[in-house]
């Protein structure tokens, strides 16, 4: 069996223990990063005088062949390949012979796995970043398309004040814009080189770590080898990013599930993102959105489970840290689906302006009525009280605010006059919210422009 550490052992590992210890089943995904890290390390060993130029070429050529095997799917895992690092080194030795054994000089799997994971995540972050940018752009485009559509705005899921549909949608655009900024911060935290830290105490060959950082395009070099082999903070940061982003996706999904229900009918999820029922022929269910909402649970679990793994670890590397990969991979895989699915739902969403307009209660304008009285000189608190009575009358007499005769209004407050009817208009109410961040058309257009600027 080709183990990296068999020398001091006289008995073989228990079979169940071996299965328990192996990580190849999942860390095989790091193959490309592992080979990239080894290529840079081989060159650094040459620079340090450990490898001759000929040996370096032999190793690089061998690593190229290992890479090709992974790329074309012909790489086969052998018994004893406990992790990706072992597998690559074992195959390299088969291909180039004993010189393969020099590659690991003064390198530990501790600084190796730390480097591989950072390299891998760096690539994944750039593709997640693109998914997030596309989502934000899609939101901005849809907001522009439906700029003239008004809807009831809700607090506590109770009708509150009229807003533009675009304003509601852009509310999510800004959450995702913050997620984008957070992801960029995680990318910076990730972009630190641990290679050259050895097992824990550093590299005795005066290996040129700046050379390694340049070769692997890391912006920074870790400052403390004991910290570097154990630092998983950037993974916690990433999982936190994922947790918030997925929370935002889940809220968006929840809103759209409600808006697309039979009772609301404000929106309709396209067939492409819905599924049917095996029993009820009429059903079209928003499974895309329900799964987005549902997968939030596993993302939370990945994050909280990972933090629990880290808690109380003594300094430097402990095998507990091997448990970082599955939650990381699962989180990346999940967000790599939820982001584009959410984008697809929004891109193809049908918006039913009549249903929104039809659902708008005149009581959405109660605040306008209070503002009207304020303009006539009444302190807001008193105006609030007066309009409360008007609303009561509207409920009791079963008529919308705009149908209450002026005479009846005047009995509640003499300040009411003919011009009050201009205030009882959804469009006018929306257009009064002109200041930055408001729901007036010009303010929403400004929002769209600045959101687009954020994504570049």
Nearer to ligand ARG (CB atom), residue 152 or residue 198: 198
Does 23 participate in binding ligand ARG (rule CB under 6 A)?
A: yes
Size of the chain, expressed as the number of residues it contains? 456
Q: Which two tokens stand for residue 179?
A: 């997620």
Q: Which range touches ligand ARG (CB under 6 A), out of 51-59, 108-116, 299-307, 444-452?
A: 108-116
Verify binding: residue 116, ligand ARG, rule CB under 6 A: no
Of 327, 11, 354, nearest to 151 by C-alpha is: 354
What is the Cα–Cα distance from 258 to 252, expressed in whole angstroms? 10
The residue among 24 and 446 lying less far from ligand ARG, judged by its C-beta, is: 24
The smaller minimum CB distance to ligand ARG, of residues 198 and 438, is found at 198
Smallest Cα–Cα separation from 344: which of 277, 261, 287?
A: 287
Three-class HEC string of 200-233 = CCCCCCCCCHHHHHHHCCCCEECCCHHHHCCCCH
Which residue in the set 27, 34, 55, 237 belongs to the binding site for ligand ARG (CB under 6 A)?
A: 27
| Distance from C-alpha of 89 to C-alpha of 94, rounded to nearest angstrom | 9
Contact letters for ligand ARG, residues 315-344 (x by CB under 6 A): --x-x-xx----------------------
Phi, psi of 184 (to 5 degrees): -65, -35
Backbone angles phi, psi at 140, to 5 degrees: -60, -40
310 sits in which H/E element: helix 287-310
CB 5 to ligand ARG: min, Å: 8
Closest separation between CB of residue 16 and ligand ARG, Å? Answer: 18
Structure tokens at 53: 């130029």
Q: Which is nearer to ligand ARG, 323 or 382 (CB)?
A: 323
In whole angstroms, the minimum distance from the beta carbon of 14 to ligand ARG comes to: 17
Piece of 87-95, 166-174, 314-322, 420-428 that binds ligand ARG (CB under 6 A): 314-322
Which among 353, 152, 143, 327 is positioned nearest to 238, based on CA atoms? 327
Residues 59, 113, 180, 187: which binds ligand ARG (CB under 6 A)?
Answer: 113
The DSSP-derived string for 21-72 is H--HHHHGGGHHHHHHHHHHHHHHHHHTTSS-HHHHHHHHHHHHHHHHHHHT
Considering only 105-113, 141-149, 293-301, 438-446, which stretch makes contact with ligand ARG by CB under 6 A?
A: 105-113
Regarding 303 and contact with ligand ARG (CB under 6 A), the answer is no
Closest alpha carbon to 303 in 332, 268, 283, 274 = 332
CA distance 186 to 241: 8
Contact map string, positions 118 to 157, toward ligand ARG, x by CB under 6 A: ----------------------------------------
Nearer to ligand ARG, 235 or 390 (CB): 235
Q: What minimum distance in Å lies between the beta carbon of 341 and ligand ARG?
A: 30
| Nearer of residues 83 and 179 to ligand ARG, judged by Cβ | 83
Least distance (Å) between residue 230 CB and ligand ARG: 11
- Residue 154's SS3 state is strand
Query: In the complex with ligand ARG, which residue's Cβ is closer, 27 or 268?
Result: 27
Looking at beta carbons only, is 172 or 317 nearer to ligand ARG?
Answer: 317
Residues binding ligand ARG: what is the number (CB under 6 A)?
10
Query: How far is Cα of residue 334 from the mean position of the Cα atoms in its chain?
Result: 9
Closest CA to 6 of 86, 66, 99: 86
CB of 198 to ligand ARG, least distance (A): 11
Please, are residues 51 and 102 in contact by the beta-carbon 8 Å criterion? Answer: yes
Buried b / exposed e over 236-254, threshold 16 CB at 10 Å, is bbbbebbbebbebbbbbbe
CB of 107 to ligand ARG, least distance (A): 11
Cβ-Cβ contacts under 8 Å for 388 (sequence gap 6 or more): none
Question: Minimal distance in Å, beta carbon 18 to ligand ARG?
Answer: 13
Tell me which residues are annotated as active site. 156, 277
Question: CB 23: neighbour CB atoms within 10 A?
Answer: 19
110 binds ligand ARG (CB under 6 A): yes
Helix (H/G/I), strand (E/B), else coil: 353: helix
Q: Based on CB atoms, which residue is closest to ligand ARG, 169 or 229?
A: 229
Q: How far is the CB of 86 from ligand ARG (least distance, A)?
A: 8
What is the contact mask toward ligand ARG in residues 33 to 72, using x (rule: CB under 6 A)?
----------------------------------------
83 lies in the site for ligand ARG, by CB under 6 A? yes
Bridge partner list, 390: none
> Which residues bind to ligand ARG, rule: CB under 6 A?
23, 27, 83, 109-110, 113, 317, 319, 321-322
């Amino acid at each position: 069996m080709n183990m990296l550490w068999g020398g001091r052992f006289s008995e073989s590992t228990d079979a169940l223990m071996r299965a328990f210890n192996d990580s190849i089943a999942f860390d095989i995904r790091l193959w490309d990063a592992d080979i990239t890290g080894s290529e840079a390390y081989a060159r650094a060993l040459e620079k340090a005088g450990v490898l001759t130029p000929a040996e370096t070429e032999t190793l690089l050529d061998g690593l190229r062949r290992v890479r090709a095997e992974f790329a074309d799917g012909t790489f086969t895992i052998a018994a004893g390949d406990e992790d990706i690092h072992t597998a690559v080194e074992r195959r390299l030795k088969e291909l180039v012979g004993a010189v393969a054994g020099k590659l690991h000089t003064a390198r530990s799997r501790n600084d190796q796995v730390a480097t591989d994971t950072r390299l891998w995540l760096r690539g994944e972050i750039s593709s997640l970043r693109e998914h997030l940018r596309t989502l934000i752009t899609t939101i901005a485009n849809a907001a522009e398309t439906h700029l003239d559509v008004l809807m009831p705005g809700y607090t506590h899921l109770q009708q509150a004040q009229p807003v533009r549909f675009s304003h509601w949608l852009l509310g999510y655009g800004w959450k995702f814009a913050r997620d984008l900024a957070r992801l960029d911060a995680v990318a910076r935290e990730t972009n630190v080189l641990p290679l050259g830290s050895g097992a824990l105490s550093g590299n005795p060959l005066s290996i040129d770590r700046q050379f390694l950082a340049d070769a692997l395009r890391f912006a920074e070099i870790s400052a403390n080898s004991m910290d570097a082999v154990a630092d998983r903070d950037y993974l916690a940061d990433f999982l936190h990013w994922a947790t918030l982003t997925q929370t935002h996706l889940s809220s968006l999904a929840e809103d759209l599930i409600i808006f697309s229900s039979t009772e609301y009918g404000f929106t309709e999820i396209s067939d492409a993102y819905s599924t049917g029922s095996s029993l009820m022929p009429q059903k079209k269910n928003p499974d895309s959105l329900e799964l987005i909402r549902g997968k939030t649970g596993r993302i939370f679990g990945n994050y909280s489970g990972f933090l629990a793994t880290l808690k109380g670890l003594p300094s430097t590397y402990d095998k507990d840290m091997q448990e970082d990969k599955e939650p990381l991979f699962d989180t990346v895989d999940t967000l790599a689906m939820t982001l584009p699915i959410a984008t697809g739902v929004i891109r193809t969403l049908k918006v039913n302006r009549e249903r929104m307009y039809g659902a708008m209660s005149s009581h959405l304008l109660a605040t306008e009525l209070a503002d009207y009285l304020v303009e006539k000189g009444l302190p807001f608190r008193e105006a609030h009280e007066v309009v409360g009575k008007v609303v009561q009358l509207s409920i009791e007499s079963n008529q919308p605010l705009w149908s209450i005769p002026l005479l009846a209004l005047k009995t509640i407050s003499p300040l009411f006059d003919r011009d009050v009817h201009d205030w009882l208009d959804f469009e006018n109410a929306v257009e009064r919210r002109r200041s930055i961040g408001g729901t007036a058309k010009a303010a929403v257009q400004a929002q769209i422009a600045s959101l687009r600027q954020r994504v570049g």
